[in-house]
Amino acid sequence: MTQAPYPDDQSMTTGYLTVIIAPLGPVLIWLFGIGNHKEITHWLMAWYLVLGVSLVLIDFQTRKNILLAFYTPSPRSWRQTITAGIWRWLAWCFLIVSAIKLYAMLPTYQDGWYYYYKEFLQGWILPGWVILGLPYTVLTLRRRSGLRWDRKDPAVLLLLLGRGFPWGRWQTIIRHCFLPRSTRIVWMGLIVKFFFMPIMFKFFLDNGYHVVKDFEDIVAQLQGDPDFSPGWQGTTETLYYLFFTLMVFIDVCLASLGYLITMRWLDAGMRSVDLSLLGWASCLACYMPFNKLIAWQMGLPTTDVTFISNVPLRIAAMTGVMICMAIYLWSTLAFGLRFSNLTRRGLFTQGPYAYVRHPAYIAKNISWWIEASPNLLDPRALLCLLGWNGIYYLRAITEEKHLSRDPRYATYASKVRQRFFPFWPR
């Protein structure tokens, strides 16, 4: 087991506190008896913002001693700082509006699946940035100044592009804003946010809604509602769905906030982005809309462990899935507010990463095999499972290749030699 030589490992404190704080939103909604889908969704949006602010404060307090070392007062005067802040605030306004327009134009995002995310972006994020973005930007430039952050700020590159427009210096600007690896990382980081943020946010809303409804189902079950299976077996199934959904809810809470929050104040920016075609292809294959196409081609199992007729086997299968999901959630908690696909935002060696290098992937894949156990006699189900196993293996390989650019990762990999199974021969 590795120790904690890296300051990034302190992010896990934020992750653990998320387990306590995140479920409070659905619990409060359930306690107040809010049952309308639209009302629940809007209250979850409000809770999402409260949760985000709370975790930012917790993360800053947890890593305060480390983050104070990054304090760099601006050499500019207040007037120069305010002028620079206005320009960067306007650049981010342009980027947010551009994202809203692109979501409105692209056919994929016309699906009702993304409706509430577009509403959140247009009705909550944009007005919030218009009101609070300028003082935040000015204060940030005043207290966190320097190329350490400016070189990774999309607003800076956007302003450089704007400077090239009226004077026709496009060749020079393109050479500086698109061709260097450091600038390509910035643009690709924006694409990562653009693609994954709506997916994770919708998962957050969907699972939050189902957690509220699962609480209602548990109460109805205990009160003997005839719509539910009688006895302890029915209660066990209802609890299984509740805890499964609750763990996914906590996971996507932290994951979606990780994409949203890349603040200088937390030193939570994207330090590098995987630029390989295979890395992107294997990752995107696991998310909508690509995963639906792949699942349709390979054959997706249509039943789960609750269809197992033998009661002891059903309970054992449910327990196995819960253990896998707990390990999967534990893996996300290790990142705190620094979770993100296809990017490197630090080196995290605690939690399950102290035992294997890809605990989330192996836990998720094992849970799929357990969930698909009623379908294992179907060749299509076996093909589907083996296909997803192969895709996640490619994800693990490409991620390691990307992370190996950090020399500290080689040290970590030499200590934690097992990719997937602890105590397994290399």
Question: In a structure prediction context, what are the per-residue pLDDT tens digits for the chain, which is 426 residues long?
Answer: 444 456 777 888 888 999 999 999 999 998 887 777 788 899 999 999 999 999 999 988 888 877 777 777 777 888 888 999 999 999 999 999 999 999 999 988 888 878 999 999 999 999 999 999 999 999 988 888 777 778 888 888 888 777 655 555 666 667 666 667 778 888 888 999 999 999 999 999 999 999 998 888 887 777 766 666 555 566 778 888 889 999 999 999 999 999 999 888 888 888 889 989 999 999 998 888 887 776 655 555 555 777 777 778 888 888 999 999 999 999 999 998 999 999 988 888 888 999 999 999 999 999 999 988 887 777 878 888 888 899 999 999 999 999 998 888 888 988 888 888 876 655
Terminal-residue alpha carbon distance, the chain: 15
What is the distance of C-alpha 55 from the center of its chain? 14
- Residue 256 has a pLDDT of 93
- Residue 181 has a pLDDT of 73
The tokens for 130 are: 């218009």
- Residue 166 has a pLDDT of 53
